Amino acid sequence: MGLIHQQAQSGYDLRKLFATTPLGSYSDSPGAIYPALRRLESQGFIQGHDEYSGKRARCVFRITAPGLAQLEAWLSQPVTRLDVVRRMDELLAKFSFMDGVLGKEGAMGFLRTLERELAIYTAELEAYLREEGPGMSISGRLALDSGVHSHQALLRWSRTALETYQRSLTGEAP
């Protein structure tokens, strides 16, 4: 719905986005996209309209008021530990729609909770590596070390992103 909120899209448009952009981690399969669009339309979150180009009609979807309310509710959900541990890709996808739906303040609220949860989890990973790392196999320790570094990088990014938003509110160049 976030993509449809940004711009009216057909199923084919969405398939192209998923196939040709960094959104490629999402399925561009017609067997996934079209049933999802029908489900969202049956729930009243989007509405399809036929647009004609030459001899062909294509169904272009726009978000509805209930769909926007649902999108706002999804984007407003607080970041949890489980999100940080298991759903970072989903969190970053959510974040990509924040400005256009929740505005800068909403995006900053998200970043604050993300930063807090990342700081807690990263500290736990670092402590676990210090305590248990010496007794682990080399490959196990290196795999854990990779996770620690990844979360440290995300933590740095979240702090930098929050600073960027704060500067934008004061009129400083981002």
Confidence of residue 174 (pLDDT cuts 50, 70, 90): low
β-strand partners of 47: 62
Write the pLDDT tens digit of every residue in 104-161: 999 999 999 999 999 999 999 999 999 999 999 999 999 999 999 999 999 999 999 9
Parallel, antiparallel or unpaired: strands 46-53 and 9-10: unpaired
- For residue 91, give every residue at least 6 positions away whose Cβ sits within 8 Å of its Cβ, in sequence order, or none: 79, 83, 84, 114
Write the pLDDT tens digit of every residue in 61-115: 999 999 999 999 999 999 999 999 999 988 998 999 999 999 999 999 999 999 9
β-strand partners of 50: 59
Mean per-residue pLDDT, 12-31: 74
- pLDDT in the model for residue 20: 80
- pLDDT in the model for residue 46: 96
Provide the token pair at 47. Answer: 């509405």
| Structural domain spans, the chain | 2-67, 77-170
Q: Which helix (H) or strand (E) holds 56?
A: strand 56-63
Calculate the CA 56 to chain-centre distance.
34
| pLDDT higher than 70, residue 25 | no
- pLDDT in the model for residue 171: 81
| Range 2-67: architecture per CATH | Orthogonal Bundle (1.10)
88 close to 151: Cβ distance less than 8 angstroms: no
| pLDDT higher than 70, residue 28 | no
Nearest Cα neighbor of 2 from 41, 39, 44, 46 is 46
User: Number of helices (H) and strands (E), helices first, in the chain?
Assistant: 8, 3
